[in-house]
Amino acid sequence: MSAPDLPIALLDSGVGGLTVLHEFLVSLPSENYLYLGDSAYFPYGTKSQAELRGRVAGNLGYLIERGAKLLVLACNSAATAALEPARELAEAAGIGLVAVIEPEAEIAATISASGRIGVLATPATVRGGGYRRALNAQGRGLTVTEVAAPDLAPIIEQGFPFSDDVVETVRGYVAPLRDAAIDTLILGCTHYPLVAPMLQRMLGRDVRLVTAGHAIAAAAQRRLEADGTLIGDGPEGTYSFICSGDPDRFRELGTRFLQLPLGAVEQVATIPT
């Protein structure tokens, strides 16, 4: 393959990053994609930063060996724990890397009228402080309310339909955000867009929800343009999937997240760390 024809490679802890891939497929339809869901190690959001750094390094190294023109950290917990070493790994391989968090923070700071921004995320993401640092870097004197939601990603990963118990769990996470009178909420986990309608109902229609997909796809497009490897107008590209867990389970749940057929899913039993 020539450099432009190489895939954009996305890494996530499971199927949540498929909400990001969906935006890529819409925004950059002529590109080719390779998606790795580390589902055997899900959830990333409850792991330590040291564990995540090793896991992310192993997974990205594997994707580099497979061949990629751009790496995408589509997992907020991974981006919080391992962004700098991931960038160093990509730079050593001579390819670019984009990640969630910074693009979302830029959008949230731009659209918030009151400056009161909420972040709903996994414990690892909140503990790592990536969103708070990115929002503070915007220079607006923002008031940031972070809520750790340890159960939410696993609940979503388990599938649908959602029960009344799930609604009450989500309502408990939303309460401090409502109390803080936020006008913008960053969904700090790629699983969370699947419950966006529920969150919007609880928060009210005036609260703006910021998700990773559009922001990171735009950042990826800018990077590919700068590198001269962006595929312009043309036929639809390809997409393929690798997971470290059960491929049948990944395909079943992933179809709901991507809203497109996944086809065959390759299983990789061991990814070096």
β-bridge mates for residue 96, sequence order:
70
Number of C-alpha atoms within 13 angstroms, CB side, residue 74? Answer: 33
| Contact in structure between 10 and 62 (CB atoms under 8 Å) | no
Look at phi and psi of residue 248 and say left if phi exceeds 0, alpha if psi is from -120 to 50, else beta.
alpha
Catalytic residue among 189, 195, 220, 224: 189
β-bridge mates for residue 194, sequence order:
none
Which run of H or E residues covers position 169?
helix 164-179
Is there a catalytic annotation at residue 243? no
Give residue 2's identity as a one-letter amino acid code. S
Is there a catalytic annotation at residue 189? yes
Residue whose entry in the numeric block shows the structure tokens 């639809």: 236
Catalytic residue among 75, 82, 89, 203: 75
What would the DSSP string read from start to end of 12-37? ESSSTTHHHHHHHHHHSTTS-EEEEE
β-bridge mates for residue 70, sequence order:
8, 96
Instruction: Return the structure tokens found at 272.
Output: 């070096």
Active site residues: 75, 189
